[in-house]
Amino acid sequence: MSAEVERRIVAMVEEVEKDQKRLRVFSTAEQIAVALVLDRSEFFPHGGYTMLEAVERLGPDWTRAALRVQRRRE
């Protein structure tokens, strides 16, 4: 499942990098994952989250997947 989640995150990040308005079509968790990968807290949905709230909302599996995606982008 992890590889599938990573592929989803990569695809969403690429979409948002091309057009930031695409962020709005994603679920809350997906928006948080994209925001964390891109290190853009202003992308957090619903008026924002703190970093820790975002990580808690995302959950451990998605957080690890987002971190792996971010590290590969560096």
Query: What pLDDT sits at residue 1?
Result: 63
Query: What pLDDT sits at residue 37?
Result: 98
Query: How much is the pTM?
Result: 0.93
Strands (E), 1-74: none
First-to-last CA distance in the chain?
Answer: 23
Task: Supply the mean pLDDT for the chain.
Answer: 94
C-alpha dist (Å) from residue 23 to 1, 9, 49, 53, 62: 23, 12, 16, 19, 17
For the residues 51-71, what does the mean pLDDT come to?
A: 96
For the residues 34-61, what does the mean pLDDT come to?
A: 93
Structure tokens at 10: 């990569």
* Rounded Cα–Cα distance for residues 74 and 54 (Å): 21
